[in-house]
Chain A
Amino acid sequence: MMFQITNAVLLGGHYALIAVGLSFMFQVMKVINLAHGSLAVLAAYGIWLLADRAGLSPFVGVLLVIPPMAVLGWGLQRGLLERAGRGGELLPILTTFGLAIVLDNLMFQQFGADTRSLSPFIGDFAWASWELPGSIFVGKVPVLILLTAILTIGALQMLLARTALGRQIRATAQDPVTAGLVGVDARRISAISSALAMVTVALSGLALGLRGTFDAYAGAPQLLFAFEATVIGGARSLWGTLAGAMVLALAQTFGAMVHPQGFLLGGHLAFLAVLFVRLAAAGGVWHLLKRARA
């Protein structure tokens, strides 16, 4: 039992690292980036290319992949999301959906159907583990991913709470028009936020490749888990996203203990339960039922 819970917490760290960028973009720009998972896979392929062709360690490779991902995030906001945003609330979501399809298929065309992994490039570290009291073994890679998730969220929260840039990001998130009236360039701040989100996406791409295997279409499940963790955690704080990721991973683990096929179902049930509790708290369930009957 302790073994399962420990592993669920480590898996939660992985989900948190994927979800933090999605949650951040949603909080600041009110955009649900459906290309989030595909972008993580893109980053994973970038790190894999650097390792496979240039023999660079994935831990060095990710440092080289971060700057282009940040530029990509800037361009994504300026070139696509900002324009799409002028067409209404739904258009940015549809745009990112289209972008996900384009990215998935371009990667399939380029890299084919072979699954890839980054673990062959890190030697013994891929299966190294620590022993905890009670002879529970934890893999070094999952622990590293959990720590990266906590550090990433901590750093982003510090940035938001303590710095001038963080204040401007929060002001833009709350009220972009008034932010402009006090001198904040909301367009620039949104682009910077998108770039920051893509930095976390690069890190989650590394985590994806180190933890297991990925292929061109691996983005969709990553997006799904990130989305569920974000919704469970609520949009108030990035620490909530971490908690949401933990709840998701625990629910999946318990689901798998109940039935071999229960892994995904357990997560979905937790997601739906939280969603309905939220709606009920907001008085929305009754409204929803009335509309369904009508």
Chain B
Amino acid sequence: MSLLQVESLDIRHGQFRAIKGLSVSVTQGEVVALIGANGSGKTTLLRCIAGAARATAGTVHFKGEDITALPAQARVARGLSLVPEGRRLFPDMSVTENLMLGATCDRPGDWSVERVLATFPNLVKRRHALAGALSGGEQQATAIGRALMANPDLLILDEVSLGLSPLVVDQVYASLAAVLTSGTTIILVEQDLARAMRVASRAICLLEGSIALDRPMAQAPREAITAAYFGLGTGVRA
């Protein structure tokens, strides 16, 4: 049974049609890599699924329930959490306070401030520092931890590596490994194709607001993904 079902989704920014009649469904336990160039609609699509952007037409179902009209906090309460692009921490609050805010909905589960700190050991020393004073890697770890505090069934990670040095990206993914293999369903946006192919079980390529490729990672060779990324015809719609 599909955990997330998006049907004929249209999102417009004024005259611009950012998402064009997109349909996709994600099954429990999948790790989906969403791949696409800047402006292909990845962030718009994910923000709409999380409730931070409005759909112009179409529906989003989560666990069989129509959530299209629900506000973001109601979706968090149902187990759908987004780590937004650019982290969007609360800069005047400490790391611990940011993490505790993530538990606002009080969903049952075993994520706690202690477990987040154990998962992201680079935060232990910084737990009382203000989020605005953190390095990029520490901010990303805090943002992911904050989303995990809601014990989500579907975790959406938008641009995990944005603005981070390769070394720090390695650290973040090393910490994420436990989450990635824990059975939590994950949709992630990753610009580093090699890394996306390593961690994800399924690849979805977005091109100008439509899906250009959607395959299990094992059947999606690098060339096919690259072709879909640039819209080069070959490998598109297999």
Interface of A toward B, CB cutoff 8 Å: 164, 167-168, 170-171, 174-175, 177-186
Contacts and interface: CB of A to CB of B under 8 A. Distances in A.
Given A167-B100, A178-B84, 15 more contacts: A164-B104, A170-B93, A174-B90, A174-B92, A175-B90, A177-B72, A181-B82, A182-B101, A182-B147, A182-B150, A183-B73, A183-B101, A183-B105, A183-B150, A186-B73
Contact of B104 (A175, A177, A178, A182): A182
A170 B92 contact: yes
A186 B82 CA distance: 17
B50 interface: yes
A1 to B, nearest CB: 40
Contact of B97 (A167, A175, A185): A167
B51 interface: yes
Contacts of B100: 164, 167
A181 B90 contact: no
A171 B104 CA distance: 11
A252 B97 CA distance: 41
Interface in B35-73: 50-52, 71-73
Contact of B51 (A175, A180, A184): A180
B166 to A, nearest CB: 27
A180 B104 contact: no
Contacts of A168: 101, 104
Which one of A171, A177, A181, A186 has the highest number of Cβ atoms from chain B below 10 Å of its Cβ? A181
B189 to A, nearest CB: 15
A167 B100 CA distance: 9
Interface string B65-95: 0000001110011000110100010111100
A268 B53 CA distance: 45
B101 A185 contact: no
B209 interface: no
Contact of B52 (A171, A180, A185): A180
Which one of A167, A178, A180, A186 has the highest number of Cβ atoms from chain B below 10 Å of its Cβ? A178
Nearest to A177: B52
A170 B90 contact: yes
B202 interface: no
Contacts of B81: 181-182
11 contacts: A167-B93, A171-B90, A175-B90, A180-B73, A181-B81, A181-B84, A183-B72, A183-B73, A183-B102, A184-B73, A184-B104
Given A164-B104, A175-B88, A181 B97 contact: no
What 4 A-B pairs have minimum CB-CB distances, sorted nearest first? Answer: A183-B76, A180-B72, A183-B105, A183-B104
Contact of B88 (A164, A181, A184): A181
Contacts of A167: 93, 97, 100-101
